[in-house]
Structure 1
Amino acid sequence: VFAPKEASLTIKAYSPNLIVFPYKGEYLSLENVDELVKLAEKFDVVVVGPGLGLESETLEAVLEFFSNLTPGKRLVVDADALKALARDLAVIRGFKAVLTPHAGELRIVSGVKVGESIDERVEAAKALAKAVNSTVLLKGHVDVITDGEKVKLNRTGNPGMTAGGTGDVLSGVTATLLSWSGDPFRAASAAAFINGLAGDLVALRKGYHILATDLLDALPEAYKLSLNPSKCREVRPPETGWLPVG
C-alpha cells in the first residue's frame, strides 16, 4: 500500500498482512511520482485509485504516473483514478489494464450516460473499452465485462454489496487473478464472478447487511466453489435468484 506517512501508521496497525510504503505529504502529488514509478515496477500488478482522493494535483500525479510507467504493465484502475483518466484517456492505452467503474464513474470517464437496460450497459462499456484499448468491468446488478469485442455478463452478487469497500475488494481480486493469468478480460470476468459469489455466501448466512471485511472472509470458499460450477448453483441468497456468468 502506497500511502501518506501519517495514514500509513494506521494502515500498518490494522493488519500485519499489509505492507505499507509511506510517502511525504498529505496526499499524492507530482513530487511523489518518481518514487511511485520505481516502486510499481517491482510488482506484477498495480491497483490505482482506492482511497486516492480528488485533489487536483493528485489527479495530475496519476496521469504522470501512467505516462512514466513501462508500457505493458498490468493495472487495475478504480475509484478516483478513473476520474483522472477523464482528463486524458489516451494515457492508459499502452497497458494491460482493467478499469472497474460503476455507471456514474463510467459517465465521468467517457462523458456518456449509461442506460438502465443490459444492452445499453454493454454498449457503453464496449465503447469505453475500445477508447482505452483496455478491459472494462462495469459494476452493477449485472456486471458487464468487455474488452471492446468479447462480452461477459456476471449475475453473482446481491443488493447488500453496495456497502462501501466492496468495490475495493473486487479490485484486489481482479489484481490477483491478473497477476496469475496476464489476461485482463479473463481476470476481470473471473474476479466479478468470485467476488459476487463471496457476497452471495455472506448474504446466505447473515442477510444483506454485508461489510467489505465479510467478503474478504468468504473469498477462499468462493474461489474453491468457482472451480465446481454445480456447487455454485446451490448458493442462493435470500429472496434473490442466482444465475451463472453468461
Structure 2
Amino acid sequence: MTQTHARPGAENTGANDESCRGTRLSADPTPIPDGMKRCTKCEEVKPHSAFHRNRKAADGLHPHCKACHAAYRADKKANSPVARWLRGELDVTPDGLEAWLLDRIERDGDDDACWTWQGAMHNRGYGRVTLDGVPAYAHHIALRLWLGIVVPEEMHVDHLCRDRSCCNPSHLEVVTPKVNVLRGIGPSAENAVKTHCDNGHPLTGENLYVRPDGGRDCRACRRNHSRAHYARTRNGELTPEQKLNRGIFARTITFNVTERSA
C-alpha cells in the first residue's frame, strides 16, 4: 500500500492526482463553464484564448492568464538587479559580467580600434543581449560597465565609428535623437545640409519657409505649386482619381433622389 504525503501546512486534497497538475484549487466554488478557466493570479474566469499554452499542465494551459503573466514579466524585468544596475540605481556590477562581455567581443589591434560584437545581433545591426531576462544593447552595457554612463530612455547612443556592432566605449557618445539622426546618412540628414531646393532656389532668407514640424520648404516652389493647383481647379482639369471620386458622389446623389421620388 502506497502512502501519500501532503506538503507541510496543507491538507491532502488530491493534489497529486493527474487531473490537478498545473492548476491551483480556488476558494470560489462557482462552477466554471466549458471553454473557460479561472486564473490563479487574478481569480477571474476567462476563455481559454486568454491563457498561454503549457504542455506540462493537464488542461494544456498556463495557470496564469496572459495579462497576469505579462504583468509578472514586466515587474520582474523592471526590478531585477541587472535592470536596476543599467538604470543607475545600483552601483555594484553583476558578478562575471565583464568576463562574459569580453568573451563575446573581438578586439583587433589597439584600444582605438573597433570592438566587434560576436553575439546575437539586432535586425538593424546592433549587438543585443538578455541578462536575467532583461533585454539590452551590448554597447549600452559597455558604456555602463567601463565608463559608468547610464543611457536614459529618451537618449540615443551614436557610434562615432559608424559601426553599429562596435562596443568600444571610446567610439560611443550619448546624444539626443535629433543629433543622432542628423549625424547619420539617411534622408533627414541629407536634407538638413541642403542649401538649395531641387529646382535650384536658395533655402535661405525670405525664400526659406520653416514648417510647424521643423522641416524646411522653398517658398518659391510652394508658390508655384499653389498657382498650378489653382489653375487646374479653375479650368476643370481633374486627375483620374478625382474624376472617379466625383463620379461616385454624383451617382450616390442620383440614386438617393430616385429612391425618394419612387
**TM-score, normalised via structure 2 length:** 0.20
Question: Greater RCO between the two (CA within 8 Å, min separation 6)?
Answer: 1
Q: Is the helix fraction higher in 1 or 2?
A: 1
